[in-house]
Amino acid sequence: MIVLLPVLSSIPAQGFTVARIQYSGGGDWYSDPSSLPNLLNYLSSKTFIKSVQEEVRIKLTDKELTSYPYLYMTGHGNVRFSEEEIIILREFLLRGSFLHADDNYGMDKSFRREMKRVFPNKDFVELPYDHPLFHSYYDFPNGLPKVHEHDGKAPQAFGLFNEDRLMVLYTYECDLGDGWEDKEVHKDPADIREKALQMGVNIIYFALTQ
């Protein structure tokens, strides 16, 4: 059965949600536990998209995967997919699903390695500031907001495409998930948290309408 990412008009009546990928390899896939519930709550309060304010945690081999075409993953450490997971993820994305991977400072090398296993013939392309992702709901003329400083690098958004459709968004040196967390966790300024949440809305809105 072909799985297609739902457009806004076909979001289930019970609401939209995000499925967090539980991967192996030693990376903390579960990091920023309050981030997705906060983002989903913000999405419901600021847009007309009805969302379920709870994330789903799922393995790529779970039978329920096909019910969650919007995937998310994050972490600081090593990402490792099994051969079975590589095949499943490749087919899932090619059939219309979407993955947002947010580097929480430390998963860059392993994530890029694993995605090269998923799509050996595809390379990440940096999204320019005029890409619709940055203007889908809120306007971000300078691209991704910077939540936390690590190596003095500017935040970057990279994509893997199937023809013109963005299948995988990789946000790097940005720490969006940290910005979505409860304010007492990182004690980020209110304006930084607001920008992070707005960017999260942009990503979801773009994925649902592209």
Note the pLDDT tens digit of each residue in 77-118.
999 999 999 999 999 999 999 999 999 888 999 999 999 999
For all residues of the chain together, what is the average pLDDT? 92
User: Quick one: which of 49, 65, 61, 57 has its CA closest to 3?
Assistant: 65
For residues 157-173, average pLDDT? 97
The CA-based angle 167-124-82, given to 5 degrees, is: 70
Q: What is the pLDDT of residue 105?
A: 87
Q: What is the pLDDT of residue 79?
A: 96
CA 26 – CA 132 distance, rounded (Å): 34
Q: With 50 as the cut, is the pLDDT of residue 2 above it?
A: no
Query: CB of 33 within 8 A of CB of 70?
Result: no
Q: Where are the beta strands (DSSP E) in 141-195?
A: 156-162, 165-172
Measured between alpha carbons, how far apart are the two ends of the chain, in Å? 21
Q: With 80 as the cut, is the pLDDT of residue 8 above it?
A: no
Q: With 60 as the cut, is the pLDDT of residue 21 above it?
A: yes
Give 88's contacts (C-beta < 8 A, 6+ positions apart): 60, 61, 65
Structural Rg of the chain based on CA atoms: 16
Query: CB of 60 within 8 A of CB of 21?
Result: yes
CATH 3.30.1490.100 at 8-209, yes or no: no
Quote the pTM value: 0.94
Q: Which of 1-5, 143-147, 182-186 has the largest mean confidence?
A: 143-147
Q: With 70 as the cut, is the pLDDT of residue 10 above it?
A: no
The per-residue pLDDT for range 177-206, each reduced to its tens digit, is 999 999 988 888 999 999 999 999 999 999
Query: CB of 166 within 8 A of CB of 159?
Result: yes
